[in-house]
Structure 1
Amino acid sequence: MASSPLRDIKAVLFDLDGTLFDREAAVRDVVTRQHAAFSAELAGVPRERFVGRVLELDAHGYGDKSAIYPRLVRELGLSEPLAAALEAHFWDTYARVAPAMPGASSTLAALRGRGQRLGVVTNGRVHVQEAKLRGLDVLRHLDVVLISEREQLRKPDPAIFRRAVERLGVRAEQACYVGDHPVKDVLGARDAGLHAVWIRTPHFAPPAIDHTAVDDLGELLALL
């Protein structure tokens, strides 16, 4: 795909999971802790089997969270009430784990130093996403944070991107959006008139529209 020119950009908006927040590392960490915390209830299920299956059902954040653990305990022949306990433990622990994607904090700080307006547009629940942002210690760099639960809009709806640039006080063509999902992030942002930057990931196929692609956040500094 040909790269979109990033000229006269005055604002940079970011996805959260898989872009600033290393969701894959966080989930693996949480589920590994779960296996240790529930070792008696898991009745000898090997850690690799337990962790691997939860990650598979999670589908990089796009699996139905309410269905993952009920399905898992059925597959493993475990007690049904264990599903609710595992789900509660997941959300309680997940809110306290905050691994950053490489270059996240330094890139935000550098862009802020250049006078760029910065923000986050993310799908998810307010208390979970805000806990991640606090854990990453990036709120001090951000001018706006739009979370789907609070906004009552979800990516890839162009309206949530337009709302973000309005709050930043710039035009859509003066902003770029950085994310890892080819539809929810890249297509959604482009449909709203923003420049789209895709973080390359093995989890998703490349976007089917023109876009700028980077391997890590630090590359943005040479493009903007």
Structure 2
Amino acid sequence: MVRTGVLFDIDDTLVDLASAMTRALGGSLIEVLPPGALASLGLAAGVPVADGAGLSAHDAEARRRWLTFSEHFVQDVTGAYDDYLAGRLDFQSMRILRLHRAAEPLGLRIDQELALRWVPRFAQLAETGVTPFPDVQPLLDVLDAHGIPYGAVSNNVEAFQRAKLGYAGLSGITVVVGTDTLGVTKPDPAIFHEGARQLGVLPEDCWYVGDNPVVDHDGALAAGLKAVHLDRGVPGSGSSGNSPVPGFVRPAGERRVIHSLSEVPALLGLDAADRESVSAGDAV
């Protein structure tokens, strides 16, 4: 066994899934929905600008409607992904349910036939549109330089997450444990233990970094790993899987929180030069 290893969550920890989903949502709906439905969602003139500067009153209302809709969808405020993890929904049905629930507050009902046409296009754009956060590769380079093994443990199926890492340019992460690897999901201890086993480290010598305070930090800590909650301050990050988990008891004590992966080398006790090389990624 080597001395230590690091496991990461994937979505909104290594890759910016929230931004990719927002872009994919707008692009796919513009291709599928009729003009009246697009107007209801604030998409009649295309996806509203992000900063909202210099908008007319009409444009500002369109932007408000789009933000209401897209944030509801991306942040999954009604917990559809939790239902998927619990086996109550398949993956496609989960995404369509999120679409319907996000549209309802704006008084729009999206026809099921249109939703079925939308979902594969959204899936394609979202999966291929992911990008890594700028602090990811500098950290992986430091871990490689020190011979520290790393991998990922995710609450999604392994092949899907491997493909996502490939699109993000992170195919060098070869250890990937998904929900189908052992047939369990975070925060089940077995999924964290399998990640540590594949790295060749003991659970107590393995760090786990993720954006979800419950299934990532608390789950890893309960499994005996050294847990870190990565709070990037990204809207929608850490939302899915944040509901109470039946039978799971949150470990006592304060959570260890970081705001960038540039803080990981210090946790591992690496020298100042390594910390600075990762911090440079934050400024990219």
TM-score for both structures, normalised by structure 1: 0.84
> Is 1:67 aligned to residue 111 of structure 2?
no
- What letter corresponds to residue 67 of structure 1 in structure 2? L
C-alpha displacement of 1:50: 4.2
1:44 to 39, 48, 53: 39
Aligned residues, how many?
216
Unaligned runs of 5+ in 2: 44-62, 81-93, 240-249, 269-284
- 2:200 equivalent in structure 1: 169
Distance 1:31 1:168, change over 3 A: same
RMSD: 2.7
In the alignment, what sits opposite 1:138? 170
Given that 1:35 and 1:50 are in contact with CA atoms closer than 8 Å, whether structure 2 keeps it comes out as no
Aligned partners of 1:95 and 1:132 also within 8 Å: yes
Q: Equivalent residue for 1:22?
A: 16
SS at match of 1:95: helix
Identity within the alignment, %: 27
The correspondence for 1:219, drawn from 237, 256, 263, is: 263
Q: CA contact under 8 A between 2:132 and 2:169: conserved in structure 1?
A: no
Contact residue 155 and residue 185 of structure 2 kept, 8 A: yes
1:128 and 2:169 aligned = no
Structure possessing the higher radius of gyration over alpha carbons: 2
Q: Distance in 2 between matches of 1:86 and 1:50?
A: 17
Task: Compute the displacement of 1:122 (Å).
Answer: 0.3
In the TM superposition, structure 1's runs of 4+ consecutive aligned residues that sit over 6 Å from their partners are none
Using the TM superposition, give the Cα deviation of residue 151 of structure 1 relative to its aligned residue in structure 2, in angstroms.
2.7
Query: Which letter maps to 1:59?
Result: Q
More contact order relative to length (CA 8 Å, sep ≥ 6): 1
Going from structure 1 to structure 2, the CA distance change for 1:169 and 1:149 (only over 3 Å counts) comes to same
**8 Å CA contact 2:29, 2:118 repeated in 1:** no
For 1:134 and 1:88, how far apart are their aligned partners in 2?
Answer: 19
Give the distance between the partners of 1:133 and 1:66, measured in 2 at CA.
24
Q: 2:144 matched to 1:118? A: no
What's the CA shift for 1:60?
5.2
Q: Shift of residue 116 of structure 1? A: 0.3
Q: CA deviation at 1:78?
A: 4.1
Distance 1:130-1:51 versus aligned 2 partners, 3 A rule: farther
SS of the residue corresponding to residue 229 of structure 2 reads: strand
Q: Does 1:185 align with 2:216?
A: yes
Partner SS state of residue 12, structure 1: strand
Question: Are the aligned partners of 1:161 and 1:189 in contact in 2 as well (CA < 8 Å)?
Answer: yes
Q: TM-score normalized by structure 2?
A: 0.68
Q: Match of 1:5?
A: none
How far has the Cα of 1:200 moved from its partner? 1.4
Distance 1:27 1:51, change over 3 A: farther
CA–CA distance in structure 2, aligned partners of residues 182 and 43 of structure 1: 35
Q: CA shift at 1:190, angstroms?
A: 0.7
State which of 71, 76, 93 in structure 2 corresponds to 1:55.
71
- Is there any run of 5+ residues in structure 1 with no aligned partner, and where? 1-7
Separation in 1 of the partners of 2:30 and 2:139?
35
The structure-2 alpha-carbon separation of the partners of 1:69 and 1:171, relative to structure 1 and needing over 3 Å to count, comes to same
